Amino acid sequence: MTVHDVVIVGGGPTGLMLACELKRAGVDPLVLEALPEPTREPKANGVFGQVVRALDRRGLYGRLTGSTTPPVANSAYFMFAAMPLDLSLLDQSPLYALPIPQARMVEVFTEYATELGIEIRRDHEVTGLAQDEDGVTLTVVGRPDLRARYVVGADGAHSVTRKLSGIDFPGITRDRTTSRSAHATVAPEWLDPGTGGLTVPGHGVIRPFLPLRTATGTFSYAPLPGHPPLVNTSEWDQPEPPGPMTLDELRASIHRVLGVDIPLVAPTGPGPHVLRRLRGSNTRVADRFRCGRVFLAGDAAHIFALGGALTVGLQDAINLGWKLAAEIHGTAPPDLLDTYDPERRVAADRMVLSAQAQSALVAPGEDITGLRAVVGELLAEKSVVQRLADLISGTDVRYDFGPGHPLVGTFAPDLDLRTPAGRMRLAELTHETRPLLLDLTEGSSLADLAAELGIETITAQAATDTDLTAALLRPDTYLAWASTSQIPDDKERAALRTAAHRWFPPRPDTP
């Protein structure tokens, strides 16, 4: 029986992203997908925050957008618990956005994976999993068993991989809410030309993408590119009607929430179009992201009531890919795979905190209305907006790498560099899954140490304002070591050597 290095169960965005990470690092993954064809069912409508920069650093942002320009952060407004965040107060907004239907993301990732030579087997439903000290055996419906050194479950919120591995999925289920969504068009006279939102009697302009909360529910209007606008309501304690969702049902819900009738017209053109009702919501995080040789990523590991699972899941893939590759190549330190769970759990826990806080602040009742008034006053403060923007975007996630420079354990900042090959963005130098030493010091003072460590080094000058003078980037572009000294002293050089050996130990046959 052929033994695969890594089998990824699930061919959605997270599974495909992980496959590409592994392939770039020199590992041949096998992707198993239960569906015979990619689903066109509307799901996520994009990603936001730090993950957009991560995709840019892998050269995928341009593929997804069709643009040759780098991502630009939203510096106008965003939302927190259906309240606007005035991002213009910030010196630098962390809220990058990539609006793209999940089906299109899967299409682009599949094309890229095919270019890389990754094997994707569709119509392969996993129903059994057994692992021992040497590997994992997978049972697939109507197919011979498969054997792998490692298995990653990226098979969604109802993950079979998670269940077969005996991993619990604790969290909170709220069954008071009913969410209704539909692609629909609105008459032109309702549109606000200034914002692209809706002008609604009694409410003024309802901005696009920013939910409006009333004492009975929320309403949002999202004119996403590529398909008709998405109209959504969420209500509490409403009886669920029998039968499938209808546009009339959504119209009635809008009237209950806003007290106004908004004329909706069914969309035309190719679908599929959203017309769905969802009862309740879940926020759950697996109690383990690893069980022996089995790992979880994406929705299989965590789901959040107000979305964001895809945003976190893609970063799971980037974190796990290089670590599995190092283990397979025999270059990993003994505990490298053990760092996956605590590092990505930090990100999941922060998203849970955001989801719980926002769920509480959009709940019905006049007491919550009073609380929102107080929070709304706080949102006029720059420091509050910064904290919330960092929470939403994931830029407040710092991995615990132990004592060191304050930047250690954070996502590397975006930099423009003057290199011997010309002016380049740091993102253009991180497309490969490998460590990188960035030397911006005076006289390239780390050249001797770089040669000793054997890590690829970029010697350059900063073309943008930054205090950073040198950094050791892990393959996921988190900083394993950093300096703000023009000539790092002996203590800093020793710390660099320690960090390099900690994450990228030399092979036994290397001096």
pLDDT tens-digit map of 224-269: 777 789 999 999 888 888 889 999 999 999 999 999 999 999 988 7
CA 431/CA 328 separation, integer angstroms: 21
Confidence of residue 101 (pLDDT cuts 50, 70, 90): confident
Q: 32 — phi, psi (to 5°)?
A: -110, 130
CA 475/CA 175 separation, integer angstroms: 41
Torsion of CA 50, 61, 76, 43, to 10 degrees: -80
CA 163/CA 133 separation, integer angstroms: 20
Using alpha carbons only, how large is the chain's radius of gyration in Å? 24
Per-residue model confidence (pLDDT) at position 511? 46
Q: 95 — phi, psi (to 5°)?
A: -95, 85
Q: Are strands 119-122 and 126-131 parallel, antiparallel or unpaired?
A: unpaired
pLDDT above 70 covers a percentage of the chain that reads 99
Q: 35 — phi, psi (to 5°)?
A: -75, 140
**Concatenated DSSP letters of 201-265:** TTTEEE-TT-PEE-SSEEEEEE--TTSSPEEEEEEESPPPPSSS--HHHHHHHHHHHHSS---EE
What rounded mean pLDDT belongs to the chain? Answer: 92
Q: Are strands 470-473 and 479-483 parallel, antiparallel or unpaired?
A: antiparallel
Per-residue model confidence (pLDDT) at position 280? 79
Assess whether pLDDT exceeds 90 at residue 317. Answer: yes
Choice among 113-127, 136-150, 200-214 with the minimum mean pLDDT: 200-214
Confidence of residue 324 (pLDDT cuts 50, 70, 90): very high
Per-residue model confidence (pLDDT) at position 43? 74
Confidence of residue 46 (pLDDT cuts 50, 70, 90): confident
Per-residue model confidence (pLDDT) at position 508? 58
Q: Which residues contact 13 (CB under 8 A, 6 or more apart)?
A: 102, 105, 106, 109, 298, 310, 313, 314
Give the three-class secondary structure for 406.
coil
The pTM is what? 0.92
Tokens 């618990």 — which residue?
Answer: 81
Tokens of 75: 């510096």
CA 328/CA 341 separation, integer angstroms: 18
How many CB atoms are closer than 10 A to CB 160?
19
Assess whether pLDDT exceeds 90 at residue 297. Answer: yes
Confidence of residue 108 (pLDDT cuts 50, 70, 90): very high
Question: Between vectors from CA 362 to CA 86 and to CA 375, what angle results, nearest 5°?
Answer: 45
15: nearest Cα among 97, 126, 110: 110
CA 205/CA 336 separation, integer angstroms: 51
